[in-house]
Homo-oligomer: A and B are copies of this chain.
């Protein structure tokens, strides 16, 4: 068994630890604490080793973002799978989105930080957006609602959730209220789409 495979294994292990530690620092101390030197110290290396695994800080942050969407997507799927009612399914997934934003504020903010390349962010979000599109399609089918454009409808809901979830970070609003608001907003939108021919 060539020792090069063990080398590769160790390399991968270190890479994983970097991501793990970076996520931990981000979530517990916020974006300002997430520095290369801090991450290196946390995995008991010096700063330059990080660059052996990531081209630059942005690449590392993008990995955290991807991880964030993986988490969010998993939770959303869990909710979607356990709720049989089509309407409540959408509402509960919406609420879950906002709950996630409240439970992982710094990670969520990183996932939507305009300093990070927009296209890369969107790519990371795409699978979750796709799930939403799926939910909306089955919803409109179930009610015989003909949406003018499914993609438009999906973007509207995605944007709405994002905006309302962001409100939760204000002290005057808070995560709980944001969850309620998201549910109300989606309730109103879906009702509106049923009310007419979804335009």
Rounded to whole angstroms, the CA-CA distance of A27 and B165 in the bound complex is 27
Q: Give chain B residues whose Cβ lies under 8 Å from the Cβ of A113.
A: 114
Which of the four size classes fits the interface of chain A? 35 or more
Rounded to whole angstroms, the CA-CA distance of A172 and B155 in the bound complex is 11
Number of copies: 2
Q: Give chain B residues whose Cβ lies under 8 Å from the Cβ of A193.
A: 188
Q: Give chain B residues whose Cβ lies under 8 Å from the Cβ of A167.
A: 155, 158-159, 162
Q: Give chain B residues whose Cβ lies under 8 Å from the Cβ of A166.
A: 112, 159, 162-163
Q: Does A161 touch B at the CB level, under 8 Å?
A: yes
Contact across chains for A164 and B156 when beta carbons are under 8 A apart: yes
Q: Which of A3-47 contact B (CB under 8 A)?
A: 31-32
Q: Does A185 touch B at the CB level, under 8 Å?
A: yes
Q: Does A181 touch B at the CB level, under 8 Å?
A: yes
Contact across chains for B189 and A185 when beta carbons are under 8 A apart: yes
Q: Which of A148-199 contact B (CB under 8 A)?
A: 148, 152, 155-156, 158-164, 166-167, 169-173, 177-178, 180-181, 184-185, 187-196, 198-199
* Residues of A bordering B, CB below 8 Å: 31-32, 109, 112-115, 118-119, 122, 148, 152, 155-156, 158-164, 166-167, 169-173, 177-178, 180-181, 184-185, 187-196, 198-199
